[in-house]
């Protein structure tokens, strides 16, 4: 059996094109919103609502996918909603319309994520799963690096032409949707959970294994203090006073992440997911401790290099770890439960980081986050050793 089979490759290329579309507009959305009259408060409110929509819907649609026993309808619909949201941003600039368009984008992410991860899980064994998820995350992150580069080049020749950029972002988005039609699937066993309301996926906690509960508890503790990457970009801008260096550092981080995701997946399959994940947390602690000292430009790029290694050592293999200990008939529900809770924790983490930054400064924010990462590493050192 091939480790990286046709389905894995197609899903990975789909994610690559979808991320090109998303990252083409992600760096310019705040600037565009300010130009059409949004205040900083409204921008924050918009992003908060959009991310919460994505987060809380992942669990529901994951459970629904398990109930029906199919994945592709959710994946197709999710990527379609995200693709059409890009040109919607350019059609009208009324605040309510912009809120609607941005929420549609994140709703699409919530609709597809758990089903896509469950389909990836079906393509692997427990011995190869970290490599499969690592390959997918690597391809996804290549798109995250290409997107901002396209946006920078376009805006260099056509400054402030944001509407056209939003229309252009529709192209890679719709390519991603069309590629999904190359896939076929067989209906899987249906969920063992009873049908219920929008929040019924929380019932999975009752039937989850002790290993799953211990894992999720540790992951959510870390997520509660792992704030948005925007805080790393903020401190980089504060130190360098350069938008170009800040964006370059972000692109560099994504490239490192993309290149090393599959190798770290291979290491996780060979030496154990838990060991590689703990190593990733230690790398995270190094990065946040380094940023607490307001480093020089050269050190900043070294820290972003290490941060790329951290992401490669944790992001993809977390999904592999979860799906390895989840029930086969509830895989999407297990992933959706975690990703929904993680999204809420990440939102709270960013609010908490902003409050600590305001009250005690950036250094205190980074020291506290690094400390929690070390605590989480110790926690994972002693759980689920088998």
Indicate whether 386 pLDDT > 70: no
Express each pLDDT in 143-159 by its tens digit. Answer: 988 998 898 888 888 88
* Cα 199 from Cα 205, distance rounded (Å): 12
In a domain, 50, yes or no: yes
Q: CA dist 335 to 42, 81, 101, 102, 197, Å? A: 31, 21, 26, 24, 18
In a domain, 200, yes or no: no
Indicate whether 78 pLDDT > 70: yes
CA angle 185, 125, 274 (to 5 degrees): 130
State the angle between helix axes of 297-325 and 273-292 in degrees (0 to 180), rounded to the nearest 10.
150
What is the domain range of residue 335? 6-182+208-382
Asked if 258 contacts 147 with a C-beta cutoff of 8 angstroms, the reply is no
* Cα 137 from Cα 52, distance rounded (Å): 22
In a domain, 136, yes or no: yes
Could you tell me what percent of the chain has a pLDDT over 70? 93
Could you tell me what percent of the chain has a pLDDT over 90? 43
In a domain, 233, yes or no: yes
Indicate the number of domains in the chain. 1
- Nearest to 128, CA basis, from 334, 335, 316: 316
* Cα 100 from Cα 273, distance rounded (Å): 39
274: CATH: 1.20.1250.20
- Nearest to 256, CA basis, from 188, 302, 195, 292: 302
pLDDT for res 308: 95
In a domain, 196, yes or no: no
Asked if 83 contacts 170 with a C-beta cutoff of 8 angstroms, the reply is yes
Q: How confident is the model at residue 219 (pLDDT cuts 50, 70, 90)?
A: very high
pLDDT for res 11: 95
Tokens 């899903």 sit on residue: 11
In a domain, 187, yes or no: no
Mean pLDDT of 301-313: 96
pLDDT for res 385: 58
In a domain, 269, yes or no: yes
Express each pLDDT in 14-44 by its tens digit. Answer: 999 999 998 888 767 766 776 777 765 666 6
Q: What is the mean pLDDT of the chain?
A: 87
Assign 3-class secondary structure to 338-353: HHHHHHHHHHHHHHHH
In a domain, 277, yes or no: yes
Total residue length of the chain: 386
């Amino acid at each position: 059996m091939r480790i990286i089979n046709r389905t894995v490759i197609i899903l990975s290329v789909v994610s690559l094109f979808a991320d090109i579309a998303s990252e083409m507009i992600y760096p310019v959305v705040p600037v565009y919103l300010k130009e059409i009259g949004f205040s900083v408060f409204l921008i924050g409110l918009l992003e908060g609502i959009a991310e919460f929509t994505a987060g809380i819907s992942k669990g529901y649609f994951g459970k629904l996918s398990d109930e029906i026993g199919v994945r592709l309808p959710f994946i197709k619909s999710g990527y379609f909603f995200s693709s059409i949201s890009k040109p919607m941003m350019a059609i009208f600039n009324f605040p309510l319309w912009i809120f609607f368009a941005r929420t549609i984008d994140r709703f699409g992410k919530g609709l597809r994520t758990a089903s896509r991860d469950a389909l990836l899980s079906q393509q692997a064994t427990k011995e190869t799963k970290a490599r499969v998820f690592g390959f997918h995350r690597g391809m996804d992150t290549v798109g995250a690096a290409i997107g901002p580069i396209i946006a920078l080049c376009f805006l260099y020749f056509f400054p402030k032409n944001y509407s056209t950029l939003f229309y252009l972002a529709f192209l890679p988005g719709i390519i991603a949707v069309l590629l999904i039609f190359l896939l076929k699937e067989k209906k899987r066993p249906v969920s063992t959970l009873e049908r219920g309301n929008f929040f019924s996926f929380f019932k999975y906690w009752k039937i989850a294994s002790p290993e799953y509960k211990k894992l999720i508890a540790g992951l959510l503790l870390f997520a509660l203090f792992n704030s948005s990457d925007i805080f790393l970009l903020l401190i980089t801008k504060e130190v360098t006073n350069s938008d170009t260096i800040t964006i370059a550092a972000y692109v560099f981080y994504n490239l490192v992440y993309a290149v090393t995701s599959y190798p770290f997946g291979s290491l996780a399959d060979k030496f154990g997911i838990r060991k590689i994940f703990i190593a990733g947390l230690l790398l995270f602690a190094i990065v946040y401790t380094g940023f607490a000292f307001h480093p020089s430009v050269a050190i900043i790029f070294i820290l972003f290099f290490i941060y790329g290694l951290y992401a490669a050592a944790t992001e993809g293999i977390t999904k592999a770890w979860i799906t390895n200990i989840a029930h086969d008939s509830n895989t999407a529900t297990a992933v959706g439960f975690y990703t929904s809770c993680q999204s809420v924790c990440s939102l709270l983490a960013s609010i908490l980081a902003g409050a600590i930054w305001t009250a005690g400064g950036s250094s205190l924010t980074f020291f506290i986050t690094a400390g929690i990462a070390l605590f989480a590493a110790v926690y994972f050192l002693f759980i689920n050793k088998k």
